[in-house]
Amino acid sequence: MSDEKLTPRNIDFSEWYNTLVLKAELADYAPVRGCMVVRPYGWALWENIQAALDRRFKETGHVNAAFPLLIPMSFLEKEKAHVEGFSPELAVVTIGGGEKLEEPLVVRPTSETVIGSMYAKWIQSYRDLPVLINQWGNVVRWELRTKLFLRTLEFYWQEGHTAHATSKEAEEETLRMLGVYADFAINEGAVPVVRGVKSECEKFAGAVQSLSIEAMMQDTRALQSGTSHFLGQNFAKAFEIQYLDQNNTLQHCWTTSWGLSTRFIGAIIMTHGDDQGLILPPRLAPIQAIIVPIFKSDPETAAVMEAVNRVQTELKAAGIRVKVDDRTEVTPGFKFNDWEMRGVPLRVEIGPKDVEKGSVALARRDKPGRDPLTGASGKSFVPQAGLAAVVADLLTDIQKSLLERATAFRDSHIFDPKDYSELTEVVQNGWAYSFWCESSECEAKVKEDTKATTRCIPLDREKGHTLTGAGGKCIVCGKDAKRKVYFAKAY
């Protein structure tokens, strides 16, 4: 890590983000333009995200499988809306083994088509349903403008694909998985999200309805952080996914798909980070507590390291992800800054005086230094005895504090403008929550005038923002409107 400081967020948020991803060693630019290398620290964070989601998927009856990276071009062409939606982003293989292929192969941008072809083979009877499969993998979408984690040519994700006997079951699955994503984002990532329905213009290519969780970043831009799609029978009819029902009548299945990617790492960075670096939520942080030994001379070293090793063993035994920074070539101050930049939730300092007193110093990452308003410090001195319980409680409190802080920030930047003129001002530094007639013309006008898009029509009653009530007038055209939508600039 270099000693160079990060660009403050209020000076250049984008530069702050890009530099932080590199300095914190989460990812690096790959030799191929638009691709990224996820470094071990970033991958450890992704592994924790995977584990938290995978547990939830299995609790809701889903199983994991793996499907091919290469898809015949003819598969994509079977679902017209799907191929039209993805055609600008496709990477196509035309030569294999030194010879031109009879049929071009697409590097998967998503897997509805290849999975649909297999479901058509596997599903014969109502007894085979529902099919609830998820896969963890990578996909390629040839994006023009890229940004580490948020939008790269190749990225890592999970994609769930399910098949059901009825429309009702498939719609329930779509909502259930959106709920799983929201629960994960809020309780694991400490990222408050709005659950809602995407507009016709913003929905997934080939879907009947798309749902998403939307989060507000610290620059007030929205980040679509996970999506769940009700596909109706579109893919089932394209790939002949059929089953014999209990009356021995052949029926088409109803399908869904849903996904969350490494983009969520970007959500964590931009929701919680500060001008010193990352602030990682304890439930997902690769390292929850970093122990920094402090000593100046050899006689002090043995006693300090004995205490350090004892504390490390105790914390590990309590299930806390802990690491000792035993580097001797850098100063304790350098280590403090280094681990603050990497966002470790809690720092444990042990020096000669701590050994004498049988104590340790604890520094919270969410409260660096001393608060200029309250004078409160994120640092405390506690006994070594019973330390694991104290650390566990602090980590719980940090997790709670991060969610409360992010929620308060979001809610303070959501506005209900009185007219269109005010909406155009509001979306420059916040979200507008307004009645909308749901016409594509009004949606396009907002985008053209402000660069803001519809994010979602919320499913939840957001605090301080009633949903539809008795209806109202479209903020854009003044016609009758039944529902409110969030307008915001987005990543």
Predicted pLDDT of residue 412: 98
Residue 453 and residue 376 share a domain: no
Burial 220-244 (b: 16+ CB within 10 A, else e): bbbbbbbbbbbbbbbbbebbebbbe
Q: Would 5 be classed as within a structural domain?
A: no
> In sequence order, what are the residues at sequence separation of 6 or more whose Cβ sits closer than 8 angstroms to the Cβ of residue 413?
216, 220, 429, 430, 431
> In sequence order, what are the residues at sequence separation of 6 or more whose Cβ sits closer than 8 angstroms to the Cβ of residue 245?
126, 165, 251
Predicted pLDDT of residue 462: 47
Q: Would 244 be classed as within a structural domain?
A: yes
Residue 293 and residue 259 share a domain: no
Q: Is the pLDDT confidence value at 372 over 50? A: no
Structural domain boundaries, residue 422: 414-488
Q: Is the pLDDT confidence value at 2 over 90? A: no
pLDDT digits 0-9 by tens, 4-23 = 789 999 999 999 999 999 99
Q: Would 277 be classed as within a structural domain?
A: no
Q: Would 407 be classed as within a structural domain?
A: no
Residue 481 and residue 443 share a domain: yes
Predicted pLDDT of residue 76: 87
Q: Give the Cα separation of 393 and 387 in Å (integer).
A: 10
CATH number at residue 189: 3.30.930.10
CATH number at residue 329: 3.40.50.800
Output the 3-class SS for 270-308.
HHHCECCECCCCCCCCCCCEEEEECCCCHHHHHHHHHHH
Q: Would 401 be classed as within a structural domain?
A: no
> For the residues 92-101, what does the mean pLDDT come to?
97
Predicted pLDDT of residue 464: 40
Phi and psi at residue 476, in whole multiples of 5°? Answer: -95, -55
Closest CA to 265 of 278, 256, 253: 278
Answer yes or no: are the C-beta atoms of 290 and 323 closer than 8 Å. yes
Q: Give the Cα separation of 287 and 264 in Å (integer).
A: 18
Answer yes or no: are the C-beta atoms of 365 and 345 closer than 8 Å. yes
pLDDT digits 0-9 by tens, 188-207 = 999 999 999 999 999 999 99
Residue 388 and residue 422 share a domain: no
Residue 94 and residue 205 share a domain: yes
Rg (CA), the chain: 25
CATH number at residue 479: 3.30.110.30
Burial of 287 (0-12, 13-18, 19+ CB in 10 A): buried
**Number of domains comprising the chain:** 3
Q: Would 6 be classed as within a structural domain?
A: no
- What pTM, to 2 d.p., does this model score? 0.94
Residue 303 and residue 206 share a domain: no
Predicted pLDDT of residue 376: 55
- 3-state secondary structure (DSSP) of residue 215: strand
Task: Measure Cα distances from 477 to 19, 23, 210, 444 in Å.
Answer: 42, 47, 25, 12
Burial of 19 (0-12, 13-18, 19+ CB in 10 A): middle
Residue 359 and residue 386 share a domain: yes
Q: Is the pLDDT confidence value at 468 over 50? A: no
- For the chain, give the mean pLDDT: 94
Joined tokens for residue 18: 């890009």
